[in-house]
Chain A
């Protein structure tokens, strides 16, 4: 595999507070472009909080305060002058529970490109929808029922619909917050295969509780514990020979 050295996201001394409670403590890390980075750690360790810093999702929580610096493509995003709408068009997100809009399959994917004005004509929009569904590996299963509601699909298909919706606005980064924890093993395998393909074009950050999944899909792994980044590095190294005892204890199932 060709190593790339382009840093896509660079976090420095990121602190997050929910009111008085500190959720993240001086997190610094670089995330490379077109790689999959897995964030692992026990519940409440701050991994999802960190993920949500990257697309400013924490803005939606009134009591949440984020300080420090996160740069995406060398541009500061933790700043009052950041254009959050344009930032989010660059960063797609997929959640634990598939959450399609109560709309047709077609409209679920068409919604983003429409509001961002990415399509000039109806056929442009159709092209985007079809390409996105194809990239998400869903097109063949739904091509004859694009007008049916998104919610009529199976859980795994709904999750791929959400991925198609995320990539329809042509993002560069995809954040995934436990995207497979509500899915059966087959649907999980399909998503993992998809992540493998998406990695060629997107920078992916995935929060997962499944250690095996982190080992399977990611090139880099970051272990969080009690709001701190304990260890980060090559996934293969972390799962065979981690440097830190806490990492070792967590991934071997000794505490958590």
Chain B
């Protein structure tokens, strides 16, 4: 629903600033994951340190946005679509910050890995990470466009992430069983793949928040399992 501006123009500005900050926050987190994957690819421990340092920038941005959000709640007492937008922004901000933490964790694993990480699963993890990064980028786009349909599409993308997660998990278990010497290295990768899987879940949360902000309805009402079939677009 395209809307006229508020009578109080500074209120429009504040909401615009908040939306921009969410987009900036999204870009930072996306970059953090991209760097972490790069770092894993090159086993670059020096770069890893920089990435870990960079998490502070995300945390700072999270706090600043959180402050703006509580101020707008107190000052404007938003209603209806404004209320839903602010309420969702509060949750999205928190989930993005957490995605940033998970991205940083990958770099942390690289930083402490003194052992050689097995090639094949590392490569698969990087591929999976790139997919997660597309999800992040798409969910931010859905927020920018304020589109419930796009948000739903992003939500669906997590299915693939979960499948890859299980695939890599099985692969790592096989590696460990075949050669117990690899257990330490594989455990590091296990943590990384779990980090990525969690990030996908957080993106799903964000997609649900966008869906609610736009439509006023929850993406799932809890009456059925959010299965693939249940959320496919209805056939016309």
Contacts and interface: CB of A to CB of B under 8 A. Distances in A.
Contacts of A121: none
Interface string A217-256: 0000000000000000000001111100101110111111
B79 to A, nearest CB: 4
Contacts of A245: 1
Nearest to A215: B79
Contacts of A252: 3, 6, 78-82
B4 A255 contact: yes
Interface string B1-38: 10111111001000000000000000000000000000
Nearest to A243: B216
A241 B4 CA distance: 17
Contacts of B217: 241
B8 A253 contact: yes
B144 interface: no
Interface in A96-140: none
Interface of B: 1, 3-8, 11, 77-84, 216-217
A240 B1 contact: no
B216 to A, nearest CB: 3
Nearest to A237: B216
Given A248-B81, A252-B80, 12 more contacts: A211-B79, A239-B80, A241-B84, A242-B80, A247-B80, A248-B1, A248-B3, A248-B80, A253-B7, A254-B4, A254-B6, A254-B7
A245 B81 CA distance: 10
Nearest to B2: A245
B83 A240 contact: yes
Task: Pick the most buried of B3, B4, B81: most chain A CB atoms within 10 A of its CB.
Answer: B81
A212 interface: yes
A248 to B, nearest CB: 5
A253 B11 contact: yes
Given A249-B3, A252-B6, A253-B11, A212 B77 contact: yes
A40 B37 CA distance: 55
A240 B213 CA distance: 10
A255 B7 CA distance: 6
14 contacts: A239-B83, A240-B80, A240-B83, A240-B84, A242-B80, A247-B80, A248-B3, A252-B78, A252-B80, A253-B6, A253-B7, A254-B3, A254-B7, A256-B7
A249 to B, nearest CB: 6
B80 A251 contact: yes
Contacts of B1: 245, 248
Contacts of B6: 252-254
Closest 10 CB pairs of A and B: A241-B216, A251-B79, A252-B82, A254-B4, A253-B6, A248-B80, A252-B80, A252-B79, A251-B80, A239-B79
A253 B14 CA distance: 14
A215 B11 CA distance: 21
Nearest to B76: A253
A242 B82 CA distance: 12
Contacts of A242: 80
A5 to B, nearest CB: 24
A222 B11 CA distance: 26
